[in-house]
Structure 1
Amino acid sequence: MDKKQLWYIIAGLAILNAITLVMLLAKPAILEGKKETVAEIGKESITRQQWLTELEERYGQETLRDLIDQEVVRQMAEEYGIKLSDKAVERELTIYKAMYSSPGNEPKSEEKWKQQIKYSLLLEELLTKDVQVSDEDMKAFYEQNKNLFDVPASYHLSQIIVETKQEAESAAKELKDGSSFAALAMERSIDEFSANEGGDIGFVTEEDELISPEVISAAKSLKPEEWTGPVKVENGYAIVYLHEKLAGKKYSFKEVKNQIRRQIALEQMDIPVSARAFWNDAKVSWFYGEASKK
């Protein structure tokens, strides 16, 4: 499985977490004293039950299936004695952040990142546990794909782009007075793509041709949660905000050997990267049918 496919899993799990919170943790007293009413449109109302029924019809089966998959992977990993080191999770986290994340799709917390990466890695380990890959093949893969393990210094940034220096200075003053960077970006920024994400442009590197070199240069001088004053860019002036900075890192063959083993094994097996293969072993039964109905 390539890195983009694994990122889709992570993004999907992030969406799953949001849907699950809505469906399973919604409180009865969403609007206290309104008898389960969650919205009013003129004289009409939408009840909490109508809302939850609609959510279940749209997302219920897939959400439950994904929750089962997560528990199946946890139980099967425990049964086979498969464990992950903190270093392995941190390494994958660094690579995904620097090279594969995109604005608006990231989990909201570091812990969510790690949970989702751990799930993906455990699933890969389970699927490839009986596959042997020679050191020769792994070393050849490493030599041919060193760029995958050479992570450049990267910066998670947000930006506000305006036409004039005066507008940029005004935005900087509002930020100093306590205004939300994301709100100002959506309101003021002329860069439509990032404005729609509250100014977030994700993790970027010096090699990123879509980002002004001046923005990267300004980011280098910042500490997390700091922003710049006006920075002259091609289409105006930018205010740059730093969320997180990742130092560049070159991973040795020894550090990524097991990651390479899994990747080669999955390519050789040519099977879907899915926990469904273990449903029968985990004796799954569920609301929508038998475990064999995948």
Structure 2
Amino acid sequence: MRSMKLLWGIIGLLMACVLVLTMLLTHAVRTKPGAPLPSVPPDSAMAVPPNEPVAVVGGKSIPYGELMNRLTEKYGAELLSQMIDREAIRQEAEALQVTVSRGEMDAELTRMQQGYESEEQFYNSMKEQLGLSKSELNEDVYYKLLLERLATRNVTVTDAEVQAYIKEHPEEFKSFVQYHLLKAELKTKEEANQFIADLTKGFDFGVLAKERSVDAATAKAGGDLGFVEENDPFIPPFLIQAARTLKINEVSKPVPVKNGYAVIQLLAKRETNKTIDETVKANIRRELALQKAVPLNELVKQIRERHKATVKMPNFQ
């Protein structure tokens, strides 16, 4: 339940590609979740003449029509499939009087923000990783919850099953500590010691990390790892061990790592006390219900068939 960043990162590339075509087709026209798509006004992107140049290179134009044809060929089928799914889900929910409230959407968005330092960081990350704006993410969450509600509407999960899950998965409910770390990796111990010496002279850690760190994954961000959990499998244990010994803003001694030596600085520390409250129990109940329900991809197929969804143009099959 804590690894929301990884979960969303998995689907990022495809979603980003599909959204390029979405934005061109809708010309930035947005609707509230669950509402039918608006008609496209005459002055929108759809009304651009096919021969209108969208770019010029060395005197040669790239026409709008060619761009749209390429986008349609590459992403059109995926985008159309998403649109069909959402419309079929909307019709099914309307027929069964199944709804999702704004409060339920806000609760889900709050749950997704676990592991992020702030709401702003969460939305910025969604934009960078998935290409999703705040309104697009809201729409995505709306249809996700609506589909889950359809899948689990006749599923019962007892209190005893919730308690059994808690008993069987104690690791999910342990308190844990997070450390906000800066890290720089240097090739030799001498370079690491010089890095520390320069910090004592007043140099900024982030600036030095950008200039000297050989860790390409973190150097561009000034070595900022953000908040990492004490049991994070992607952080070497010896770095966490070093972090435990530091006071806020203190810098470590050189720590041996695979490619040399690391220097870390502890910017902040926070402890999360996991309490099993009603919100946690509700999330467990929801996960257990989904495990009992028809798989969501299978349910979408069934809903499409019930509402006779048909793709009319062969190149969108």
Question: Normalising to structure 2: TM-score of the pair?
Answer: 0.58
Give the equivalent residue in structure 2 for 1:80: 98
Partner of 2:37: none
Q: Aligned residues: percent identity?
A: 26
- Residue 19 of structure 1 corresponds to 17
Q: Quote the Cα distance in structure 2 between the aligned partners of 1:204 and 1:72.
A: 41
Matched, 1:91 2:111: yes
Q: Aligned pair in 2 of structure 1 residues 21, 269: CA closer, same or farther (>3 Å)?
A: closer
Find the aligned partners of 2:312 and 2:2 in 1 and give their Cα distance: 33
Cα distance change on mapping 1:232 and 1:123 into 2, 3 Å: farther
- Structure-2 separation of matches of 1:200 and 1:215: 16
Shift of 1:250: 1.1
Structure 1 counterpart of 2:53, one-letter code: E
Matched, 1:120 2:148: no
Q: Distance in 2 between matches of 1:108 and 1:247?
A: 30
Q: Which residue of 2 aligns with 1:138?
A: 162
**What CA distance in whole angstroms lies between the structure 2 residues aligned with 1:49 and 1:219?**
60
Cα distance in structure 1, aligned partners of 2:5 and 2:154: 21
Q: CA RMSD in A?
A: 5.1
Matching of residue 36 in structure 1 with residue 53 in structure 2: yes
Q: Does 1:154 align with 2:178?
A: yes
> Which residue matches 1:58?
74
Output one character per residue of 1:132-159: Cα deviation in whole Å (capped at 9) or x when no partner: 1222112111211232344634357664
Amino acid at match of 1:57: E
TM-score by length of 1: 0.62
What are the Cα deviations for residues 48-85 of structure 1, in whole angstroms up to 9, with x where unaligned?
54344323222221123224434555665573133316
* Residues 196-215 of structure 1: pairs in structure 2 closer than 5 A: 204-208=228-232, 210-211=235-236, 212-213=239-240
CA separation of 1:53 and 1:251: change in aligned 2, threshold 3 A: farther
Partner of 1:32: none
Residue 248 (structure 2) aligns with: 221
1:153-172 correspondence to structure 2 within 5 Å: 153-154=177-178, 159-163=183-187, 164-165=191-192, 166=194, 169=198
CA drift at 1:128? 0.8
Rounded Cα–Cα distance in structure 2 between residues aligned with 1:6 and 1:129: 28
Aligned to 2:254: 232
CA deviation string 1:219-248 (max 9, x = no partner): 9836xxxxx878733233446697x98751
Summarize deviations over 1:187-209 as a string: whole Å, max 9, x none. Answer: 75312444588857575211235
Unaligned ranges ≥5, structure 1: 29-34, 223-227
Aligned pair in 2 of structure 1 residues 141, 19: CA closer, same or farther (>3 Å)? same
Aligned-partner SS, 2:113: helix
Match of 1:190, SS state, is coil
Q: Are the aligned partners of 2:213 and 2:219 in contact in 1 as well (CA < 8 Å)?
A: yes
* Alpha carbons 2:98, 2:149 under 8 Å: kept: no
Change (3 A) 1:117 1:110: same
Contact 1:73 1:122 in 2 (8 A): yes
Separation (CA, whole Å) in 2 of partners of 1:123 and 1:135: 24
| Other-structure match for 1:225 | none
Structure 2 unmatched runs, 5+: 28-44, 46-51
Residue 93 of structure 1 contacts residue 117 of structure 1 at CA under 8 Å; is this kept in 2?
no
CA distance, structure 1, for counterparts of residue 253 and residue 246 of structure 2: 10
Contact 1:139 1:253 in 2 (8 A): no
In structure 2, the partner of 1:31 is: none
Q: How many residues were matched structurally?
A: 266
| TM-aligned CA distance change 1:175 to 1:259, over 3 Å | closer
Contact 2:243–2:264 (8 Å) recurs in 1: no
Q: Distance in 1 between matches of 2:154 and 2:295?
A: 14
